[in-house]
Structure 1
Amino acid sequence: MKTLLNLIWLVLSGFWMWLAYMFVGILWCITVVGIPFGIASFRIGFFALWPFGRQVVKKPTAGAGSAIGNIFWFILSGIWLAIGHAFTGVLLCITVIGIPLGLANFKMIEVSLMPLGRDIVPNRDVNSAFASGAA
């Protein structure tokens, strides 16, 4: 079922959001200081491309640097990507079949606003991530 959802997602939302994340990541990577932000954008972009079967968890090692970096990310990139997720989520929720995909888009808004200090893990590894204090 998750493969079917991912394929539908890829066509209706995933590819377009992936392009947005790749564009933002390339812009961040133009400067040396922005490379960690670019890498985070690429990581979240590939999650946006094929999200079902994976989850975002907080990294236990994330500290003040991630929090400060998320402020810069939020102002320069996060708000625009979150608007993209909200817009596509609303469009998907117009149809009954698109409601699960629209809700998935709304869930991705949080990680699009603050990607630093987060990790993407397969659903089967979520319990071990929580056990190690990642959440």
Structure 2
Amino acid sequence: MKKKILIVEDDYGDRFVLERRLKKDNYDVIIAETVNDAINIIEKEHFDLAIIDIRLPEKKDMKGERDMEGGYRVAEKLKGKNIPFIFTTVYDSEEGVKRGMDLGAKDFFIKPFSTIALVDRIREVLHA
């Protein structure tokens, strides 16, 4: 049975590249573009792993207004569900990485990153 991955990413280009790469590697993919979309999916659907961008809009009509905390709030909703997640972000800050790891992230990728490296890490996490 195929593993299903939730991509929480508001940037179309990043989302497109990730989705294409994951499908090429035989994963099913669910997409969320906002914090609210992600929370709805977390509450209603089953998936095996999440890739979460840190800066996300709260809802669709806020596209230009990204929340610096959005991805962390999505990760909080995964607590207790035993679903691993990996953060992605353009911001390379030690505090951000520490906070993400404290929330339970399996890894933290700084953009731009190799999608091949990310898929390798996903395989490791899902087969651990």
TM-score by length of 2: 0.29
Query: Higher relative contact order at CA 8 Å, sep ≥6: structure 1 or structure 2?
Result: 1
> Which has the higher Rg, Structure 1 or Structure 2?
1
Q: Of Structure 1 and Structure 2, which has the larger fraction of its residues in strand? A: 2
